[in-house]
Each structure stands twice: as structure tokens, then as C-alpha cells.
Amino acid sequence: MGRSKRFLIGGVIILAAIGYIIYGGMKDAVVYFVTPTEIKAKERDSADKFLRMGGMVVAGSLQKDVKNLTYRFEVTDGAASVPVFFKGIPPDLFTEGKGAVVEGRLGADGIFQASTIMAKHAEEYTPHEGKEQPNTFIPGKEAAAR
């Protein structure tokens, strides 16, 4: 076997190994979640498995017990909804009518026992109405501001 042929085979093996490492890393970085409809359809298979469920928090469903840090609410995808129980401190952006992804397990009673809540934030910024805008520094305009 010639030297160039061995070099070519070695290069192909190295490229294949690098491709496999990149593929494996990307596969772990992708975050999937199931919808309430998917959970309802496979409720028996989903029981006691670690899941990530995403949807909207149903308006009017949020029940807070701030003293015991427990929260009960429903997550919907528009077609089905799943009741959720969470013990802990939710993120600041968590509220009714907004998107959320919860991680946890579906209990035998059909209640999703969440260990983590991730709230979705709006993708656009709108300043609060009626608030003064902060002073803005404009170079060369120092004397005009006084």
C-alpha cells in the first residue's frame, strides 16, 4: 500500500471521527418537548418517565400557595391541557396566558409533577407606559443639557 493511500485512509477516518463527535454534541444540545396532546395520547407510556412539556399556562388556572411554595396550574396546546403541580420558586416571567416549558414526570393520577419551570419571554421590548425615559448622554450635547 502506498504512502498516499494510507494518508488518504487516515484522513477519512479522522474526518469521520470529527463528524461523529459534532453530530453527538449537536444531538445533546437540541431541546425537545412534548405537547399536552401528545402526553394525553400516550398517557400510559408517559407515566413516570422524565419529560419536558411545553405549552401555554391556562388563564385562570394558576393557584399559588406562597407560604408553602406550591403552584398548581394547567398547560395547554389549544387542543388538550394537562394539570401541573410545582413546588419551588418559579421564574419571574412565569404567569398565566404565557408560554412555559415544564420538566418532570407524569404521575399515575394524570398530574404532571414539575421539578423545573422555564418561562418563555416576549421577543419584543416595549417600555412601560407613563414612565419617564432615562437621561440619555449624547456626546457634544453636555452644555445643552444644563
Q: Which domains does the chain have, with CATH numbers?
A: 32-119 (2.40.50.140)
| DSSP code, position 47 | B
Backbone angles phi, psi at 96, to 5 degrees: -65, 145
Coil, strand or helix at 5: helix
More confident of the two residues 141 and 9? 9
- Read off the pTM: 0.64
Tell me the pLDDT of the chain averaged across its residues: 82
Residue 34 DSSP class? B
- Which tens digits make up the pLDDT trace of 20-79? 888 777 665 555 788 999 988 887 777 778 889 999 999 999 999 989 999 999 999 999
- Which is nearest to 91 in space by CA: 67, 73, 72, 116? 116
Tell me the C-alpha distance between 90 and 87, whole Å: 9
Contact 39, 106 (CB under 8 A): yes
